Structure 1
Amino acid sequence: MDILFTPNALIALLTLTFLEIILGIDNIVFLSIVSGKLKAEDQPKARRVGLLLAMVFRIILLFGITWVLSLQDTIFSIDLGSIFEAHVTGQSLIIFGGGLFLLYKSVSEIHHKLEGEEESTSGKASNSIAQAIIQIALLNIVFSFDSILTAVGMVSMKEPAQGGFGYEGALLIMILAVVISIVIMMIFAGPVSKFVNEHPTIQILGLSFLILIGVMLLAEGSHLAHFRFGNDVEVTSIPKGYLYFSIFFSLFVEFLNLRMKKSRNAVKLRNNKIVDAKLKDDDLMN
């Protein structure tokens, strides 16, 4: 506990908490879109369960950090000479599979919202909360691995005499950062979800972000598996900074659009539970 109150530990805690919140944005977007398909009374429960699962998965993985790091070992290799080569690890399989799932889910949601058939909410709401929680749990596993690997890379587990925080000190810092970030995300998850579900363009933008994150996970999984094509072409990971800069810039532009132009003929997405009052008035007048 004495290590926790040193300036270096406090800086590491604040930095890691901020990073966990940034990395959790994709989780909140996914939660907002999945929970938006539920009944209004079930949406807060789905968000709370989803974020609690995220916290539990991260803490479990932190206590099993030795096992997480052991997933870097090669499970099997593929060698096709100068055509293709790969050394698949447990981490690469989990992250690559998560990327595929995120791509499939995002593209399916965009197709359903723009071209899908209208569905009555009564026929689907009885079992959709269980399906939503399962989807959230599956993706939380992938997000948790990515988050924990980033945290381990930031907080040194070396002994204090060697400039680190020690194993117990580093573990305490990472757990506190996870808990604080999840609590902050719980506070803002409701308003963020409401804002996303009230604005169709934000929903499509959020799904587009999830496609970008899915591609990033595919690239990262391929990098961890050391995918190599030919003699010199090896797959590298996509820097997260570029990705999150594009996300924040796109959101900034969209916020400006929402403030400067309020269209009366807004696009109405399929399965959107919140109906614009102006559109209702227009329908009654016509």
Structure 2
Amino acid sequence: MDFIAEHFSFLSSPTGLAALVTLVVMEVVLGIDNLIFISILTNKLPQELQSKARRIGIAAALILRLLLLFTISIIVQMTEPVFEIFGNGFSWRDIILVVGGLFLVWKATKEIHHTVDPEAQKDASVSGAVTMTMGAAIVQILLLDLVFSVDSIITAVGMTDEIAIMVIAVLAAVTVMMLAADPLSKFIAANPTIVMLALGFLLMIGMTLIADGFGYHVPKGYIYAAMGFSALVEMLNMLARNRRKQSGGH
């Protein structure tokens, strides 16, 4: 009881509950970025390994986030500038965001090229080579999760100093990711136009991370509004295509 009273006292405070709800929503929304990347990445694996890779990758990401939470005093100091270029100071957080953004842009560009280039697909199918191993997929999932985790933890520190609230928010977000990973991956794999849209999202997220790293903050609301509008338009296109198919193409 003393442990609960000490670490979960925020449950009896309106301010604490508001911070908890806000952080849970924020972590779940930020998890969408991660989930899109995980879905596209694991869909490159052999069919029998895809679901397993997603579960292992998300579970490993959970462990990574929890470990980062307990080094929060170090992470907070990552906002201090470590060097300057043309009068602009860069912290370790900025460096991580820029590197992570460049990785996302590179990965999304590579996947777009593979998707739109028939010769690349033909070469892959002729060779019969596996384009991705499970180990490589999990490592890339963890690398990207590290980028998002550092950014979200620094944001969370500005909202609350309760570690318990952050842990609950992370657990809630990872639970949603676990539940949504397989359905989202199957939906993306079954709809080629959704794949291209998702890759476009990753490009946009990557450029946003790079801009943030250079000190140009883009409000997340604009990003998710653009993603939501694009997804809505694509859903309408899918409905239109299905109706044309049902009517015999007329």
Equivalent residue for 1:255?
Answer: 235
The structure carrying a bigger helix percent of its residues is 2
- Take 1:192 and 1:111, find their aligned partners in 2: how far apart are those partners? 22
- Take 1:216 and 1:199, find their aligned partners in 2: how far apart are those partners? 26
Q: Deviations over 1:95-149 (max 9, x none)?
A: 1100000000000000011112322385216x61111111111111101112212
- Larger mean CA deviation between 58-67 and 29-38 belongs to 58-67
Report if the CA contact (8 A) 1:4-1:173 is conserved.
no
Report if the CA contact (8 A) 1:53-1:140 is conserved.
no
- Take 1:174 and 1:54, find their aligned partners in 2: how far apart are those partners? 15
Stretches of structure 2 lacking an aligned partner (at least 5 in a row): 1-7, 246-250
Q: How many residues matched?
A: 233
Equivalent residue for 2:158?
Answer: 153
From the CA coordinates, give the structure whose radius of gyration is larger.
Answer: 1
- Take 2:156 and 2:82, find their aligned partners in 1: how far apart are those partners? 24
Report if the CA contact (8 A) 2:10-2:17 is conserved.
no
Structure 1 vs Structure 2: percent identity of aligned residues?
A: 42
Report if the CA contact (8 A) 1:54-1:144 is conserved.
no
Equivalent residue for 2:46?
Answer: 39
| Cα displacement (A) at 1:179 | 0.4
Confirm whether residue 95 of structure 1 aligns to residue 75 of structure 2.
no
1:66 to 53, 60, 73: 73
Equivalent residue for 2:37?
Answer: 30
- Take 1:100 and 1:247, find their aligned partners in 2: how far apart are those partners? 20
2:138 to 118, 133, 137: 133
Q: Secondary structure at the match of 1:217?
A: helix
Letter in 1 for 2:99: G
Match runs of 1:108-127 below 5 Å: 108-115=110-117, 116-118=120-122, 119-120=124-125, 122-124=128-130
Report if the CA contact (8 A) 1:30-1:210 is conserved.
yes
- Larger mean CA deviation between 53-62 and 236-245 belongs to 53-62
- Take 2:158 and 2:55, find their aligned partners in 1: how far apart are those partners? 28
| Cα displacement (A) at 1:4 | 2.5
* Root mean square deviation of aligned Cα: 1.6
* Alignment TM-score, normalising by the size of structure 1: 0.77
Equivalent residue for 2:220?
Answer: 240
- Take 1:77 and 1:19, find their aligned partners in 2: how far apart are those partners? 31
Equivalent residue for 2:5?
Answer: none
- Take 1:54 and 1:44, find their aligned partners in 2: how far apart are those partners? 15
Stretches of structure 1 lacking an aligned partner (at least 5 in a row): 79-83, 158-169, 224-235, 265-286
2:163 to 168, 171, 193: 171
* Alignment TM-score, normalising by the size of structure 2: 0.88
Q: Deviations over 1:37-91 (max 9, x none)?
A: 111111111111221222222211211111001112222223xxxxx32222111
- Take 1:55 and 1:220, find their aligned partners in 2: how far apart are those partners? 24
Q: Which runs of 4+ in 1 moved over 6 A?
A: none
